[in-house]
Chain A
Amino acid sequence: MKYQSQKVAYAYFIAAMGLFAIQVLGGLLLGWIYVSPNTLSEVLPFNIVRMIHTNALIVWLLLGFFGAAYYLVPEESEREIFSVKLAYLQLAILVVGTLGAVGSYLVGIHGGREFLEQPLWVKVGILVAAVIFLVNLSLTFLAGRKTAITNILMMGLWLLCLLWVFAFINPDNLSLDKMYWWFVVHLWVEATWELVMAAILGFLMLKLTGVDREVIEKWLYVIVATALFSGILGTGHHFYWIGTPGYWQWIGSIFSTFEVVPFFAMMSFAVIMVWKGRKNHPNKAALLWSLGSSTVAFFGAGVWGFLHTLHGVNFYTHGTQITAAHGHLSFYGAYVALNLAMFSYAMPVLKGRAPYNQVLNMASFWLMTGGMAFMTFTLTFAGTIQTHMQRIVGDYYMDVQDQLGLFYVMRFGSGVAVVIGAILFIYAMLVVRREVVKPGPVIKDAAVPGE
């Protein structure tokens, strides 16, 4: 750790991991309710648990991004954070707001726009926290060295905070409500968050591979250009059937198809940088998560996104388990795994010790990634059958769901793997003080083929 103030990232990462645990446990309960629907149905109905599951996810990812920003901006700008106190104040507001939101969901106080159910005071709290964050980091950024990584990171964070304003705009007209709702939801995950992702990935590549900064930064600008050029008008893929004009079917189909490009580019970027890099960085777990994140993001967002993004396909698959399959793998690959990559990289540095916990950490990668992949397959099969029976044959929704039980049982099983993986990850980050498997001897110039 070069700068003392980077330490605030530690508190952000701890809070993020706490919410991560709540998120996956909520998810496991939801998966179980699909299998055994009478579970807790009177005390804790599905909709309440789902709000906790999705909100905890979004907040912990944001906490991870904020923590990552507090970690990397000092290092890139070559100076301490403007105010450490403000950074902790911001975290306190976010944690109190989130726990307050979870508590109020449990007693039945909430809004009713998907993902934006937070009571007004929590929404305002998030806004205040965002302002503190932007002020604090912008002052750090402006005073110091400016790099492409921090340029892109700051731009992404500014824009995503500005888009939060649309969380307050809830028109009475349902179709308008939906249209502006996507300004938060789509323009977050398929535009501004991608800038944050690219910047963090670029930082990790810089540290882990030792590739020249010039090369990395040029790649970054190309990646984020393709992200925004496709992602902004790509919003049209949500404007097919909600009362918006028909021309979105063309604009949405064409531009959202190009949304695959930045995800492909980020995967190629990571692989090529690792290939080119000569540095043998000891933190193999962070490297695994970085490569894994960009690869799974390409499949979850790129491949599974394209699967249902053309309007002719989406007409039949819209709002089925296909959507659920895509939502899970894309969030996991692009944003969950990326955050875990950053935690894996930064935690040992913040704790001032060698990356001890790698074997368990890498085991947790395979458990979680395997589990999420399997979950995606089961939901995709379920969604395919659902699409056929309900949208083509015209069978009633509940009758179709009755036919899908086996897939939901398998999905629950994959959820168990993910939860075990998540707990193992947190354990490896926080508890383990020693490597569990002894590494072999280092062989210098071991490039002897064919042995």
Chain B
Amino acid sequence: MENEKHHIVPYRLYIFVLIALLALTFLSIAITGIELGSLTVAGALAFASVKTFLVLRYFMHLKYDKPYIVAMVIFVFAIFVVTIVVTFLDYLYR
């Protein structure tokens, strides 16, 4: 259909993102060393979410894609989150 715009992403940006991902990985390992109880999992998941966001936005080019593609990805994540919340309607109230 329409012509796509092509973005040339500088290597520098990719390297920044890579460093950020590695740093976050070490952080999520480090957090398990601190005694946080059940919050440990939440912490690790929080770091993982930030990493996912970075990968999607830069490595998978969402930043440069059309808004409807972004909307689709958000929608899919929303379903994923709702599914987990609903499952926990069972586990938390059993």
A binds B: no
Interface residues of A (CB under 8 A from B): none
